[in-house]
Each structure stands twice: as structure tokens, then as C-alpha cells.
Amino acid sequence: MADFSNDGLITFIVKSVLILVFLLLSVLVAIWFERKVVGRLQVRPGPNVHGPFGLLQSLGDAMKLLLKEDITVKAADKFVYILAPMISVFCSLLVFAVIPLGPEVKIPFTDIVTPLQLTDFPVATLYILACASVGVYGIVLGGWSSGSTYPLLGSVRSTAQVISYELSMGLSLVSVFIMAGSMSTSEIVSSQESVWWFLPLAPAFFIYLISMMGEVNRLPFDLPEAEGELVSGYMTEYSSMKFAWFFLAEYINMINVSAVATTLFFGGWRAPFGLGMINDGMFNEGWWGFLWFLLKMWSFMFLFVWVRGTLLRFRYDQFMLLGWKILIPFALVWIFVLAIFQGVQTFLEVDARPFLYGAAALAFVILLVTLYLDSRAAKRESEQLAETPAVEAFDAFSAGYPVPPLPGQALPPSPRAARRAAAQSRVAAEITAEATAEAHGNIATKEATDD
């Protein structure tokens, strides 16, 4: 575990302030980065007017939200309504306290040598999961306190989503705990000196990648704020800086899960393969570690943006089926296989690495085949439903409020549609009559001319 014995109160305060500044600046860069990458994916330039390469665009967006008129809904529970976005931001800011950004470094212009990490303890990874779990209270309370239907639906969706995908995320991290023998983030980074865990734990890494996108409500899993169904979900009744807090928390959470993926699966601040052995590990010392950490973290941020610009939003039932029927059972089976491997390695003193790599490859293939077959089955089901003739009459307002028809049911013809069709038929008949009269007139004129 990293040694913080030389850190005094001033050092902790300075580190805390620097982490806060780092996260806020990273959010500004992330907003610009996302808009720029999505622009390139859509064959357009993206922000390119405000500042060099459009870098000041994010600052302009932040100032706009800061100076915008703040509106509070009359039906809202005022205290909880204001508290909710603060909970989301506060919990998102706590995660980086245990993320190792680099090895021990010498602070410039001083004699202080300290790890590039605020603190660490034996259950640091559980602390990260706890912060993520508490952060959902901000979303739930924000939707409930708004006093409106759509925000409440968005918050309920978010609760189910976080519970589902935190389970699969936690199970994927258990694989790392088994292999590293610790939950301390700095010890997990140290355990990846010879091999990064994403290679032998490829199935767990793949599950984590899917779960982290569901955890932070990003496309294709942004169901709590699905604009087409819920206006803007739990944030519908928020404006100005209260909306900006939620916006800030979402981007900080993206940075958090990218940093966790870097720390637990991609070697943390350690240099890429080969570079770490050059010149007695020179590239694994000092501020080089911070550079490698940033490059790895932003590669995961690029993955977020790439997926957003590529995939469409899931249906909610598909989304929950993926979490509960595929990811969670698969993660449990993988933990069982990994526990057998560790038991054979430890107690029988047999080299079981070929077994582990073979099991990882087989599990990865099975997971991909399962996802493919599931998508084919869903497509086949939708085609069958589309071909099923509607045989049952259906009154959408029989319960006093509108409900959609089930498969095999059909809505009665809309009066508005009938009036529109009648009007179109009338216009078509008038046009046909005018054309016929004009044709008859032309024929009569021609006959008169011939005579």
C-alpha cells in the first residue's frame, strides 16, 4: 500500500484542492472532446469558433448555465429539490480520493516526496462502489421532489438501473480482488507489474465496460433521461445551476469509471508494455506515471463518445434483460471458474495459467455468442409481432387514462385521421373533377376549331 506517513495536513489540503481543480478542468475538456469527436463521427467540424480549436466553447456553456434565470417549480419540495443535485455532485467528487494517479513524486520547489494519491485503505474499492451507490439518491430525490410525473418515472428507472448494473459491476471487480489479493487501489496497481488484469480477466473486463456505461446513464443506456419518452427524465424540472450540477455529476462519473477501469484493469499509472523495462524502469517513475494514467483514462473517455455516436438507445425491457439474465449470471460463473483457478494455484502448487487463459477465451466467445443470439431472438420476436394480425378490439381509455395496445390488439380508427382522410379524398375528387372538366373543355375547343 502507498506510504502516506510523510504527508501533513497542508499536503492533504493541497492534494484535495488539486484533485477538485483537475476534475473540473477535465469536465470542461470532456464536453469539448465529446462534441468534437461526435462532430467528426458525423462528418462535421464540431466546435471551432470560440478560442483555438473551439476550446473555449465549454467555458461559454458553463457561463450560460451560471447566468441563466433560475426557476423553481411551485409543486416541488424546495429543500429536497435543491439538495438532490448537490448529493449527486458531492458523491461523484469523492471517488478520486482513492485513485492512484502516479507513483511517489517530488513536489517542485520543495523537498516533499509524496504519492500522487490523496489516501488509500484496505477496502478502497468498496468505498468507490459505496460512493456510486449513494450518488443515485440525488437522481431519485431530484425526480421525486420535482412534483411532476416524468421526472418521477425517470428517477424510478434510474433506481432499477443502478441496482442492476452495480451488481454486475461489483461482480466483475471481484475477479480483480481474487487475482490481486487486495481491495486497496495502490496494491492492485502494484499487482499488475508483470501483466495487466484486462488480459487474464477479459470476460470480467468486458462486463465492466458494459456495466460502467449503464452505471453513468450514457447511451445506449440513458433510459432515466430518455428524451423521446420522458422529456428529459429526472432533470426535466431543473434549470440554470441546479441543472448544471446534474450535468457536472454525469461527466465526473464518466471520468470516475474510466479512472477505475484504468486502475483495476489497465495497470493504473504503469507504463505500457515494453516501456516499463527501458533504462531500469525510468518510465515508471516520477511524473511519467501521471502521463500514462491520463492517456489510459482518456482512451476510455473516447470509448464512451464512440459508443454514443454509434449505437441507438435500448428499449427498457432489453436493457434490464441484458443486466439480469446475461451479465449477472455470466459474472457469477466467471467468479466460480476464477476461484477454482486460484485454489489450484495456491493449494496444489500447479501452474494453472493455461487453464485460466483458455477459460477466459472460451467465456469471452460464449458471451459474444449469447449477446448475438439474444439480439437475433429479439429481432425475430419483433418481426413476428409486426406480422401478427390485430383481432381484438381495444379501448385505450377504458381505465380512465390512455394505455398502449398489447400484441394482438388494435386501436380503433382515430376520428382525426378519419376527418383528415375524408378531407384528402374530397380535395382529390375536386382536383380530378377540375382536371376532367378542363380536359372536356380542351376537347370542345379543338372540335370547334376544326369545324
Q: What are the beta bridge partners of residue 116?
A: 102
C-beta separation of 205 from 36 below 8 A: no
Residues 82-104 have pLDDT tens digits of 898 899 899 889 999 899 988 88
Q: What are the beta bridge partners of residue 392?
A: 409
Q: Is the pLDDT of residue 383 over 80?
A: no
Distance between first and last Cα of the chain: 112
Output b/e per residue, 186-208; b: 16+ Cβ within 10 A.
Answer: bbbbbbbeeebbbebbbbbbbbb
- Strand, helix or coil at 172? helix
Task: Please state which of the ranges 55-64, 83-92, 191-200, 413-422 shows the lowest mean pLDDT.
Answer: 413-422
The DSSP call for residue 286 is: T
Residues 198-231 have pLDDT tens digits of 888 888 898 899 888 888 877 787 776 666 666 7
Q: ∠ at Cα 74 (72, 75), nearest 5°?
A: 115
Q: How far apart are CA 64 and CA 427, in angstroms?
A: 49
Q: How large is the average pLDDT for residues 103-127?
A: 83
- Measured over all CA atoms, what is the biggest interatomic distance in the chain, rounded to whole angstroms? 117
| Of 114 and 356, the one with more pLDDT | 114
Q: What percent of the chain has pLDDT over 90?
A: 7
Q: What are the beta bridge partners of residue 113?
A: 106
| pLDDT value of position 1 | 65
Q: State the pTM of this model.
A: 0.77
C-beta separation of 92 from 69 below 8 A: no
Task: Please state which of the ranges 35-44, 90-99, 386-395, 428-437 shows the lowest mean pLDDT.
Answer: 386-395
| pLDDT value of position 296 | 92
Cis preceding-peptide flag for 122 (omega within 30 of 0):
no
Greatest mean pLDDT range, 30-44, 217-231, 345-359: 30-44
C-beta separation of 99 from 156 below 8 A: no
Q: How large is the average pLDDT for residues 382-404?
A: 67
Q: Is the pLDDT of residue 408 over 60?
A: yes
Residue from 270, 259, 266 nearest 99 by CA: 259
Q: How far apart are CA 416 and CA 263, in angstroms?
A: 59
Q: How large is the average pLDDT for residues 268-284?
A: 72
Q: How far apart are CA 5 and CA 14, in angstroms?
A: 16
| pLDDT value of position 227 | 64
| pLDDT value of position 277 | 62
CA distances (Å), 131 to each of 124, 160, 210, 218, in order? 11, 17, 19, 18
Residue 97 C-alpha cell reads as: 480520493
